[in-house]
Amino acid sequence: MAVTKDTSEFRYLPAQAAALNIAIPEARRVRLDLPDGRALSALRFGDGDPRVTLLHGAGLNAHTWDTVVLRLGQPALVFDLAGHGDSSWRTDLDYSPASLAADVATAMAEWTRTPQVLIGHSLGGLTAANVAARHPQLVRALVLVDIVPGLDTDAAPAVLRDFYQVTDFATRDEAVDRAQSFGMGGTREDTERGVFFNTRVRDDGRVEWKHHFAQIIGHAFDALNAANAASAPGPDPWDDLLAVTAPITLVRGTHGFLQDADVAEFTRRLPGAQMLTVDAGHNVQETAPASLADLASEILTHPSR
């Protein structure tokens, strides 16, 4: 089904910037055509070459980072991962970190000129670790947001599978109502903004979720669990992270997905890595954006970090 392109995606920036007493940065969408016919989409913020690159989690999109980018005040590159936002869906349903990372690395080589502070949330964090391990020349420092390899995601699919039993709506207000009924999105205003960025209007007038995971939620989380499961045959899921030569920081939300055992395993495996705990849920970039912006600024200011 064809969809209508919505060109007003930066409509919220002026109010967000005003609330923070921050100047509105230059913002534009960019697109890279990939060799297999798919397209990868991203947002460019600020003047000059990007210094920070950000990757969102499953079922989200580039705009989850808007407040972080505003607070950071540095040129930034923010991806829509494959199957999300304005990036193409994969017909093979392969949304593993390795497949996502291959796209990201190709685009970073095209769109960045210096090694990046690479920040990844959840699935985006596992993707970022793969990029940093296989393309060290692209990454100055790696920040993982509320994710470590081997994290048990079995609790998430049950709720999300129920939520995505309905994948299209008569209006965006209906989608907002459903999201709030599942406890998603915080205030109604926050939920409206999230729904706006995560939906599109089809030619028949129905509103549908942009990300492919809404259509294949079972397959998507099965793939993520397979990528994370420490007991799975094949390579250790920690191999990517252990191969990273750039400095690593783990950010844990106090109300997020990480458990004490996950953090203990991270510390055991990577004793030289940094840890930051913030009062936030799993989506730290939305509930504690200042913490991530301050962390990125500190890394940029101190080259040895």
Instruction: Show which residues are catalytic.
Output: 122, 146, 282
Q: How far is the CA of 58 from the CAs of 83, 167, 198, 217, in angstroms? A: 9, 16, 12, 10
Comparing CA positions, the residue from 151, 145, 203 lying closest to residue 5 is 203
Look up residue 25 and give its DSSP letter.
P
CA pair distance 159, 59, nearest whole angstrom = 13
The one-letter amino acid at 118? L
Per-residue tokens: 153: 């995601």
Q: Residue 126: what are its φ and ψ, rounded to 5°?
A: -65, -35
Residues 6+ apart with CB under 8 A from 96: 223, 224, 226, 227
Comparing CA positions, the residue from 197, 222, 228 lying closest to residue 210 is 197
CA pair distance 174, 178, nearest whole angstrom = 6
Torsion of CA 77, 83, 87, 89, to 10 degrees: 160
CA pair distance 118, 52, nearest whole angstrom = 6
Comparing CA positions, the residue from 100, 97, 141 lying closest to residue 118 is 141
Count CA within 13 A, CB hemisphere, residue 201. Answer: 12
